[in-house]
Amino acid sequence: MINNFSFQNPVKVVFGKGTIAQLPKLIDKKNKIMLTYGGGSIFKNGVYVQVKKALSGFEIIEFGGIEPNPTYETLMKAVAIARQEEVDFLLPVGGGSVLDGTKFIAAAVPYEGNDEWNDIVLGAKRYSEALPIGAVLTLPATGSEMNYYAVISRTETQEKYGMGSPVLYPKFSILDPETTFSLPKTQIANGIADAFVHVMEQYLTFDQNTPIQDRFAEGVLSTLIEVAPKVLAENPAYEDMANYMWAATVALNGWISTGVAQDWATHAIGHEITALHGIDHARTLAVVLPHLMAYKKDRKLSKIVQYGKRVWDINADADQTAELAIEKTVAFFESLGIPSKASAYGIGEETIAEIEKRFAERNQKIGEHGDISAEDIRKILEMSIS
């Protein structure tokens, strides 16, 4: 049965060709803007020029160099500058890492305590204030453009955690599929895998008789599967890039998860792998998900079978359908050039032992039933290196 829920997502999405030109209608000119970006791809793909042209006459300072898996260490430098310069508005231009990092900056700038890591990232204190954010998305993947979540890493301690608050919803996000054409294929592949697993985390739990939510989720999965070879081919069509971009956004904007239980165990385990090994986020998800599905097959059976039937068109008995659905999932990741074995990334027993220890020390159990223990996590990861 559907759970009671409360849903509100106020983000304004401005989608389509040429929409970066609408920036001056979306930000009040009285704001002092901090434009944030990553490794500099926005200088090569023409997006920086488009943004600056649209905002000519606006007061803008810039902060670049936000890394993939944005770090607390880097972001605190931006926080110091934004405070000193009395910035009013944050304009992340880039992918999920730039958006996530900028959400942390937004929460940290007005924060008055002295432990941003503990209070904002680990969520020890509630905060009701943040600088306003408006985003220009260039890499469809994380869904950060239409939700209030962020994932922040800390180099010093090799940690990576999710954070979030409704005050961190972007005021607007510009999604122009044309900005995605120059993306390296590996980033597109990662983006598709990331969006796919976002849907699975919200969908592959147990049967709650929630047909709207299930069919929306299945619709996003089928679309990602359909569009993947097209956007990974040479010279993809605009409309395919557009469908990939919109699929990645709705994969994590709350539309598919109203009133349903959610899993997120794959992400919790994947974050540890990235924190320890620096492996791309999406690849860590592919390394965990199929093995988690196999490990929890009995308890997730009704949903794995529904997924197999509706998304992969498998018609067999329940057990066989589930087996085949897991195989199809692995094959899908492989079609993206993403192996589903942790051993393919050089991860072995030592890393697994460290991850088990971290979950055990935090006494943290995960999954939609809160029944996946540190020991279960070790077993799941062992399946991934066997």
Considering beta carbons, is residue 112 or 211 the nearer one to its own copies?
A: 211
Q: Stretches 35-43, 114-122, 250-258, 365-373: which one binds its own copies (CB under 8 A)?
A: 250-258
To which residue do tokens 């619709």 refer? Answer: 219
Considering beta carbons, is residue 11 or 273 the nearer one to its own copies?
A: 11
Residue 6 touches its own copies, criterion: CB under 8 A: yes
For 28, residues 6+ apart whose C-beta sits below 8 A from its C-beta are none
Site string for its own copies, 45-64 (x = CB under 8 A): --------------------
- Picking from 146, 134, 128, 129, the residue whose alpha carbon sits closest to that of residue 171 is 134
Do residues 165 and 107 lie in contact, with contact meaning Cβ atoms separated by under 8 Å? yes
Phi/psi for 385 (5° steps) reads: -110, 0
**DSSP class of residue 94?**
E
Give, for 160, the enclosing helix (H) or strand (E).
Answer: strand 159-164
Q: Stretches 151-159, 180-188, 240-248, 363-371: which one binds its own copies (CB under 8 A)?
A: 240-248
Shortest distance, position 113 Cβ to its own copies, whole Å: 27
- Picking from 145, 141, 103, the residue whose alpha carbon sits closest to that of residue 14 is 145
Near its own copies by CB under 8 A: residue from 16, 64, 162, 339: 16
- Picking from 84, 86, 88, 92, the residue whose alpha carbon sits closest to that of residue 65 is 92
Near its own copies by CB under 8 A: residue from 49, 212, 233, 353: 212
Considering beta carbons, is residue 5 or 43 the nearer one to its own copies?
A: 5
Near its own copies by CB under 8 A: residue from 207, 215, 354, 357: 215
Near its own copies by CB under 8 A: residue from 10, 184, 278, 348: 10
State both tokens at 311. 């998304």
> Could you give the C-alpha distances from 314 to 289, 300, 366, 375, in angstroms and in order?
19, 17, 29, 32
Cα 74 from chain centre: 20
Site string for its own copies, 251-290 (x = CB under 8 A): ----x--xx-------------------------------
Q: Stretches 42-50, 133-141, 203-211, 287-295: which one binds its own copies (CB under 8 A)?
A: 203-211
By CB under 8 A, name the binding residues for its own copies. Answer: 1-19, 209-212, 214-216, 218-220, 222-223, 226-227, 238-239, 242-243, 246-247, 250, 255, 258-259
